[in-house]
A and B are shown apart, each in its own frame.
Chain A
């Protein structure tokens, strides 16, 4: 298998004059990949295009080597899809029947689909509840059923569109753990589409950032976050205002974050902080550097984009 599970070349989808995705060229590597971006950025449009739910206006795409236009049924059998909606199932059907039905739609024989539905529901932690009607399930359980229905036909790729939407912290942790386990235990490739940066950071090691239908950045998360300007967190006692003023006068970017003074890191920032503290008479009580997170990358990217516009 090639190193990429999905490749697209100038893939575009327009709804009349409205842009869904525009000239999207990506190479999605094996393992876990996060699709990041605010609502309406084009993540779901790309997913739906890859699944053949909507046809692209132009461009091409391949999933595991299969063309998304001419071999879409091969693609569909190799993808397990968790839609973003909080419903997406038949409320008065039992979890077991629903998941088995999903299996049959992916070509599993009757007996096999029932056995695998049972296995999938056990895997997501709903073994005991599998004969309960879906309408009686909590939101977290429903999301797990959707995961089970995406897994039942043993796809190579799982695409989860906002899988933690509306979940409480426990449900969210469980869902992310299941998604992580799919990569580590079951050797599945997982695409996690989310506007929640922390979810992506916790479960994947590669990210593609979307904005207004275009790709803003893509790469390994550690590459995206490294090499970016980090900040130094400082806590001072006495003359805090004067300390901040001194730093700003020297051209440093300074802001308050949760009681800490954050100073954007440039050359000799540490030295400048100590000088500013000495000059202002402030006493430094805490001094530490803060490494860049995906959130910083995200904010920077969007800040730059807005600046360009």
Chain B
């Protein structure tokens, strides 16, 4: 042994390599450790996360200032809050397709049509792909999964990884919009909290639905490809390019919108948002061609189909992760 290591040995003898006599923490703590460690590690490592959070907060602050400065005196504060926040969260998954609720014929408080920030959605997707695609793939590349499996059950590992993405999703997606809700609530003033609670519920439910969908897709590709780059590219192509290409092709060729919608994750999410809001008539404007979806007339696309399709995508994603972890990665 080197002199240095002898000195280190002396340190250990002096300060002792103590036997552990404490109580070991439970299984949930261990799963949480995976999630939290990954988040802290990504936070330390990735400048993009910090920039995006800054960008998110800046955008929301500007929105807040604009809404409060140019608010329409005809509309009630509750209406302004709703017409600002709900299009904002819908904007997270809206790149190209514009969807309006049947009865949303008033503007958002400062006279500008549908309010959505497309740029934010692209940023969020890029970042989700950037950080999430390595969640399982990096373990396969670095062979760290062997260390996890030697300490934890495989389902604990999977839950820890999903938890990791949920922390990301909640910090990047859910939390800023909840914060925006309270900023507007305080800024606009004179509102009954119970009356605007459905708006808050919508924000939380819809952003969590996005988190769950993104998590299932990104983790599925991460475990399938085993490489961060491939996982990132395939997820991005599925979520972003499919959103552009499939409706474009369908409409260019006069195809059926209904069938195409079921293959487009982001449009499904967007319609899901309207369903959470209780709207049954939805108008879609895809590449300048408007279509009406009546979700309660017993024909065409129904509510259960939208949530069924989303549920299928999420279940399929989780099933792929479980299969990969329990079978392929355990050989």
Chain B 292-331 against A: per-residue CB contact (8 Å), 1 yes, 0 no?
Answer: 0000000000000000000000000000000000000011
Instruction: Give the shortest distance, in Å, between A34 (CB) and chain B (any CB).
Output: 20
Are A85 and B146 CB-contacts (below 8 A) given A106-B24, A123-B8, A123-B12? yes
Bound CA span A125–B29, Å: 30
Bits for B30-42, please: 1 = Cβ < 8 Å to A, else 0. 1001100100010
Chain A residues with CB under 8 Å of B25's CB are 104, 107-109
A43 CB-CB contact with B under 8 Å: no
Most buried by A among B2, B12, B19, B150: B150
Instruction: Decide if B8 touches A79 in the complex (CB within 8 Å).
Output: no
Is B18 engaged at the interface, CB distance under 8 Å to the other chain? yes
> What is the distance, in angstroms, from A70's C-beta to the closest C-beta of chain B?
13
Given contacts A88-B144, A116-B20, contact A104 B30 (CB under 8 A): yes
**Contact of B8 with A127 in the complex, beta carbons under 8 Å:** yes
Partner of A122, one of B12, B152, B153: B12
Query: Contact flags (1/0) for B94-105 with A, using CB distance below 8 Å?
Result: 000000000000
Task: Indicate which residue in B17, B29, B37, B150 contacts A107 across the interface (CB closer than 8 Å).
Answer: B29
Q: Which residue of B lies closest to A170 (CB)?
A: B2
B47 at the interface (CB under 8 A from A): no
Bound state CA distance, A89 and B141, in angstroms?
Answer: 10
Q: A108-B24, A116-B20, A154-B19 are in contact. Are A177 and B1 (CB under 8 A)?
A: yes
A53 to chain B: which residues have CB within 8 Å? 146, 149-150, 330
Closest Cβ neighbor of B33 among chain A residues: A104
- Say how far A216's CB is from chain B's closest CB, in angstroms: 24
Given that A125-B8, A154-B19, A186-B17 are contacting pairs, would A101 and B33 also be in contact in the complex, using a CB cutoff of 8 Å? yes
Interface: A93 (CB within 8 A) = yes
Q: Does A51 reach chain B (CB closer than 8 Å)?
A: yes
Min CB gap B156→A, angstroms: 9
Quote the shortest CB–CB distance from A230 to chain B (angstroms).
34
Which chain A residues in 199-248 approach chain B with CB under 8 Å? Answer: none
Q: Which residues of the partner chain B approach A79 to less than 8 Å between Cβ atoms? A: 150
Chain A proximity mask over B1-26: 1 for CB below 8 Å, otherwise 0:
11011001101100111111010111
Give B40 Cβ to nearest chain A Cβ, in Å. 8
Would you call A83 an interface residue if the criterion is a C-beta within 8 Å of the partner chain's C-beta atoms?
A: yes
Instruction: Kindly state the separation between the CA atoms of A83 and B138 in the bound complex, as whole angstroms.
Output: 17
Q: How far is the CA of A90 from the CA of B139 in the complex (A)?
A: 8
Q: How large is the interface on B (under 10, 10 to 19, 20 to 34, 35 or more residues)?
A: 35 or more
Question: Are B144 and A76 in contact, CB atoms less than 8 angstroms apart?
Answer: no
Interface check B155, CB cutoff 8 A: no
- Chain B hits for A116, CB < 8 A: 18, 20
How many angstroms between the C-alpha atoms of A76 and B149 in the bound complex?
9
Distance of A35 Cα from B20 Cα, bound (Å): 28
8 contacts across the A-B interface (CB closer than 8 A): A54-B331, A76-B151, A88-B146, A90-B138, A107-B26, A116-B18, A122-B15, A128-B4
- If A73-B153, A123-B9 are given as contacts, then 16 extra A-B residue pairs at C-beta distance below 8 Å, sorted by A number, are A72-B153, A76-B152, A81-B147, A85-B143, A88-B146, A89-B144, A91-B142, A104-B29, A104-B37, A106-B24, A109-B25, A119-B17, A120-B17, A128-B4, A151-B17, A186-B17
- The chain A residues found within 8 Å of chain B, CB to CB, are 15, 51-54, 72-73, 76-77, 79, 81, 83, 85, 87-93, 97, 101-102, 104-109, 112, 116, 119-120, 122-128, 149, 151, 153-154, 174, 177, 186
